[in-house]
Structure 1
Amino acid sequence: MIQNPILRGFNPDPSIVRVGDDYYIATSTFEWYPGVQIHHSRDLMNWRLLTRPLTRPSQLDMLGVPDSCGVWAPCLTHADGLFWLIYTDVKRYGCTSTGGATGSASLRDFHNYLVTSPAIDGPWSDPVHLNSSGFDPSLFHDDDGRKYLLNQLWDHRPGGNRFAGIVLQEYSVAERRLVGQRQNIFQGTAHGLTEAPHLYRRDGWYYLLTAEGGTGWNHGVTMARSRHLHGPYELHPEQTILTARNRPDAPLQRAGHADLVETPDGRTYMVYLCGRPLRNRGACTLGRETAVQPVEWGDDGWLRKTAPQLQALAPGLPEHPFPSAPEREDFDAPMLPVDFQWLRTPWPEELFSLRARPGYLRLVGRESIGSQYRQALVARRQQAHCYSAGTVVDFEPEHFQQQAGLVCYYNASKFHYLYITHDETLGKHLRVMSSLPNHVQTDTFTAPIPLPSGVPVQLRVEVDEERLLFAYRLPGGDWQRLAQQFDASILSDEANAPGQPNFTGAFVGMACQDMSGSALHADFDYFDYRERPYCVDAMEPPT
């Protein structure tokens, strides 16, 4: 049986392709760099993170983009001996990262690009700009070899439907551009928010899959079909073929934004995004994840309606497990471990180094935490509701504008940061800064804890669903747990600042700031991340 979700933690908007015996899923990365996560499987049960293709400034530069902008909804296909990757680079979505207006609430900037590669792990080409008319682009390869781009159409005009339908336009490989006129082939249903188009050819029909209802509790997958590429498209008799909108008890919520793949023996599987909320439809601190399950075609040529499945029937392929990721990263290699990312910039050498002090991750203090430009923050996804994470930091700040430590981070307005700093009265000390949404005073601080100079400090966090606890330890000493219990549920889409988009998920990692501009560095000797099935009250003291 397949255990869903197959891609745990922040991995939304899945696009799947099979090439021979290999399956690949591309998911959105938003403001996290490098862009697009591609996972690999040979049995649809076991998956590994294989690569992130958008690694160069020419492919992706997100400096200055607001939170939850950046790379949206990639589409991964294979044809003519090439992998084709389409993605949106969102530059504005109506709000700043702190919820304030950036201008017009109706205007958006969505730039859609195409890159190609002969191999899944690259090298990937420089991008071709396709259009900027909307988001969620998808490339359809028709049986006659012609190619077509579909995307959601954004309409900023007053009084209309912002989600104005799905448009289709031919792409010329020879000219490397869209040709002909775009045509609106599907304007959606009463559920609204029509997006995420994928087109398929089967038994003389063109099948159009879309997402509707928004990416929250009302999310769902809508199907339509036509005998002709340009339509008209008739709706599925049940309209929505997969959703959890009327099942608040379902363990997988927010199901939608789907794609289809066929196994070698002709069975069809659907991948889709989902969320695992805290109990009683609480916050989805793990972000939007990816699930997969089989779907069946009826005698009428329609996919049968189904519901999200926590366990799904595997296709019976030979099992192909991958080695488990290590719980501890010692930073002994010259490259950053694959599970870690940073924010926005295609110039990571400005933020961190694994060579400056071998065996350590050195973060160079840059801008304030939450900056939309250059902040030295390296983190990995939270992938379970209960986990422990820890590190040791060697850091000697000289004044209050220099900080470094362990952070649980969603975005610039939602985080808990256990950091070391210094001031002229207290000297070197430790405290927690929390940025809390929906509060008049968004930043809160705990009382400072004095620290001795000249020694590294171990830092640790323990998360049990909505509860978050910090601890620290000095060399030769015992772990000291901070008295405060922090709210982990703010690290979620649902903990929303007014007017602010929230589409990512919780991360845990390391950070360093030097807001004086002196670029003081902090060295981190290791980082460990261990998932737990039990609560922190029952834990042994961390080791």
Structure 2
Amino acid sequence: MRSDRRTLIAGAGAFGVASVAARSQLASATPTSAPKGIVQVRRGFDNQRIPDLGDGTFLNPVLSGDRPDPAVLKDGDDYYVTFSTFDAYPGLTIWHSRDLVNWRPLKPALHRNIGSVWAPSLHKDSGRYLLYIPVKAEPQNDIFATWADRVEGPWSDPVPLGLPNHIDPCHAVAEDGSKWLFLSGGDRVRLSDDNLSLAGEVEHVYDPWRYPSDWIVEGFSPEGPKIHQVGEWYYMITAVGGTAGPPTGHMVIAARSRSLHGPWEHHPGNPIVRTKSMDEAWWSRGHASLVEAPDGSWWSLYHGFENGFWTLGRQCLLDPVRFTPDGWFEMTGGDLSRPIAKPADGDVLPHGIALTDDFSGPLALGSKWAFFRPAPDEASRVRTEGGVLHFAGKGDAPSSGSPLLLTAGDRSYRFECDVEIPPHGRAGLILFYDDKLYCGLGFDIDRFVTHQYGIERGRPVNPHGSRMRIRVTNNRHIVTYDTSGDGGKTWHRFDRGMEVSGYHHNVRGGFLMLRPGLYAAGPGAAKFRDFRFTALDDGQEFIAG
């Protein structure tokens, strides 16, 4: 039995009102009593892990790799989500699901580099899709608005709203029909009727709940407000405690009101999500939204770091929600280390995207590949023809060359590619956090070039000439390189291995992840052929305690 589908435009999108029947189903959305032992993750494209275990349960993350600050929209029987994409362009790829567990990428909503994109918000109002995009940029930060008639786009050119001192917007419609953006710090601002400009001044409306002073956190940092109208209540979900730093810092708190205009009452069980120990499977959990599943049960999407793998960034997690008789709700997934019963009634879509690329068609910019901090004309550097990616050189190294990068969500993987350089050019394969922290192996006509800790060093002698195949293996942070001069028939181990567990935000800042990719530097265009990605099965995925 499905819950009432009356549309309420608020918070993360259009949500149905929770009926009594729907709430009675919430008990089924609890962790299964898995036997002690090892649960083997299912594998999809390129052997990448997928959440759906095929037996009516799933294992987090539902979207692996760096998928921070999820902004989810329920639109009829369809679900859409997008994430912070920071300096990657094209950015703000929209993902589509019909069951909240299996997701596939559609198209990016943002093609023009307007700065580093933080915590967007995705909504639908009056038949129009809306994105609110906080941007860190020079000469000042701002929040941009863009809209589309179809979620796949095209999206309008983003326009700044004039909010330089706030991040993490959330659109909501009040009971009187007025439209608002809720902002970080407990503030809000009224919107015009078309949602594309401000209709008032920023006002402070909520003082977030504070945790005990002796808790180990990164800082108070109230951010990521999400507003949801469910039945007679408006719920506000907020993140506090800092986004990264100590694993026990980031947490989820909630408040409610019968009016969008307040007053707001703190949840008596705050915080409703928090990592309490470094032994837990997921660290720094926060930035949560509510969403109703196809079967009428309720769930929460939020992000977290995988234990020991800050390098993968903040991954997208799905937690079952139970409403209580007093009108509050609670998360019931525990530490999310166990398989959880899937929501019922949803259609299962193919999950994820193949990262292997034979370059036989147009380059999948946004849904697969992305540039790091591109110039306005960056896309003109790449073209595919006859199974070859032609990648024009830029700068002297990956740090100055806007490399092409992928989001890989497995703890161990291998990628390889045939690389041919032009005269006087350089190219290679990299693991890239940002322009100050990366590693990899490239070459010019005479020598190898190693990229270690963001430092380039020449390593004579290159025995393969202008063309070779390079393979990079990242096995739980242990990185090795192999080269081949005969197309991969014979491999030669390169004598500079690395350990990269420190390539992450708590060392470098920036909220990014370590991404595999390609770079081309110097004059001319390098040629890349037959890119192959394979996730490695690194043994046990989960031990039931």
**Equivalent runs, 1:244-323 vs 2, <5 Å:** 244=275, 246-278=276-308, 283-306=309-332, 307-310=334-337, 311-322=339-350
SS in 2 for 1:240: coil
Query: CA offset at residue 46 of structure 1?
Result: 0.9
Equivalent residue, structure 2, for 1:228:
259
The Cα offsets for residues 233-265 of structure 1, whole Å up to 9 and x where unpaired, read as 221112211121x12211122110111111344
Normalising by structure 1, report the TM-score: 0.81
Which stretch shifts more, 360-369 or 207-216?
Answer: 360-369
Closer, same or farther in 2 for the Cα pair 1:305/1:525, shift >3 Å?
closer
Which residue, 178, 183, 187 being the options, matches 2:207?
Answer: 187
Which stretch shifts more, 469-478 or 251-260?
Answer: 469-478
Equivalent residue, structure 2, for 1:159:
none
Aligned letter for 2:527?
Answer: D
Aligned letter for 2:503?
Answer: L
Which stretch shifts more, 324-333 or 38-47?
Answer: 324-333
Aligned letter for 2:129?
Answer: F
**Equivalent runs, 1:53-452 vs 2, <5 Å:** 53-55=109-111, 57=112, 60-62=113-115, 70-91=116-137, 109-130=140-161, 131-152=163-184, 165-174=185-194, 176-191=196-211, 192-216=220-244, 217=247, 218-244=249-275, 246-278=276-308, 283-306=309-332, 307-310=334-337, 311-322=339-350, 325-326=353-354, 328-336=356-364, 338-345=367-374, 347-349=376-378, 352-355=381-384, 357-369=385-397, 371=399, 375-398=401-424, 402-422=425-445, 428-435=446-453, 443=455, 445=457, 447-452=459-464
Query: CA offset at residue 143 of structure 1?
Result: 4.3
Query: What is the percent sequence identity of the aligned residues?
Result: 28
Equivalent residue, structure 1, for 2:537:
533
SS in 1 for 2:327: coil
Distance between the aligned counterparts of 1:369 and 1:14, measured in 2?
A: 33
Query: CA offset at residue 175 of structure 1?
Result: 8.1
Aligned letter for 1:200?
Answer: H
Query: Is this contact kept in 1: 2:433–2:513, CA < 8 A?
Result: yes
Unpaired stretches in structure 2, ≥5 consecutive residues: 1-56, 212-219, 540-545
Unpaired stretches in structure 1, ≥5 consecutive residues: 63-69, 93-107, 153-164, 423-427, 437-442, 536-543
Which residue, 461, 481, 496 being the options, matches 1:470?
Answer: 481
The Cα offsets for residues 386-423 of structure 1, whole Å up to 9 and x where unpaired, read as 1010111111442xxx421001101112111201125x
The Cα offsets for residues 150-185 of structure 1, whole Å up to 9 and x where unpaired, read as 111xxxxxxxxxxxx221111013584211232111
Query: CA offset at residue 350 of structure 1?
Result: 5.6
The Cα offsets for residues 484-518 of structure 1, whole Å up to 9 and x where unpaired, read as 32012133223x14xxx33011110110112xxxx
Aligned letter for 1:490?
Answer: G
Closer, same or farther in 2 for the Cα pair 1:29/1:294, shift >3 Å?
same
The Cα offsets for residues 274-332 of structure 1, whole Å up to 9 and x where unpaired, read as 11132xxxx41111110112101111111125434143221112441316634531111
Aligned residues: 467
Which residue, 485, 505, 520 being the options, matches 1:512?
Answer: 520
Distance between the aligned counterparts of 2:422 and 2:474, measured in 1?
A: 28
Normalising by structure 2, report the TM-score: 0.81
Distance between the aligned counterparts of 1:255 and 1:481, measured in 2?
A: 39
Query: CA offset at residue 40 of structure 1?
Result: 0.8
RMSD: 2.2
SS in 2 for 1:172: coil
Aligned letter for 1:340?
Answer: W
The Cα offsets for residues 355-399 of structure 1, whole Å up to 9 and x where unpaired, read as 4x432111111124454xx6241111121111010111111442x
SS in 1 for 2:289: strand
1:3 aligns with 2:59: yes
Aligned letter for 1:329?
Answer: D
Query: CA offset at residue 202 of structure 1?
Result: 2.7
